[in-house]
Amino acid sequence: MLSSIFGSLFPSMKNQPTTPVIDPPAADESAGRITGSTWDVHPISQPVTAPWHRDLSGEDFAKLYRGYQPSAMEDRWMCRSDGPDERGNMVVHVYRSWTGHEQFQIRVEVRGSHGPADRGAETDGVDGQKAAITEITWDEGGEDTKVSEEDAKNLATMVCKGVLKCELA
């Protein structure tokens, strides 16, 4: 009886085929590199750059290189990388997933026998090369919401560890 009442009130719902709701597939991090080609992103509006010296393991380099594609609305971050270029520099871009605003960039240098001189990186990167974070660029914010270098590095560390599952030992 209830269905006949709904059917008379909402005729467009009458005899509608029921199709299951299918969630989009989660991004498979092992499938390859996230390009972010379909993302609507906005660059850092008030960029500030500071040096940051942090060695990377090969596993952490691979995670930063691969990036992260959000799979649900609850995911707050998305991440992609550019490079490495001919000098061994790679830039990791991190955005807020809902707004597409870039929050920070991490510059990573891959060092090896055919690249820039090995300047003290102690951990093996990809294929026996060394990799290290060399600088961070972040959005300084406005007068009321200044973001310090320490806060930017803490946020970057939190996102790398929590979202990308990096160790950053």
Q: Is the pTM of this model over 0.95?
A: no
- Domain tally for the chain? 1
| Listed residue (103, 107, 79, 80) closest to 91, CA to CA | 107
Does residue 26 lie within any of the structural domains?
no
Does residue 39 lie within any of the structural domains?
no
* Range of the structural domain that residue 129 is part of: 44-162
Q: Would the pLDDT of 126 be above 60?
A: no
Does residue 55 lie within any of the structural domains?
yes
Tokens found for residue 43? 């660059």
Backbone torsions φ then ψ of 126, nearest 5 degrees: -80, 135
Tokens found for residue 33? 């590199």
CB-CB neighbours of 124 under 10 Å: 16
Does residue 100 lie within any of the structural domains?
yes
Out of 20-29, 128-137, 140-149, pick the least confident: 20-29
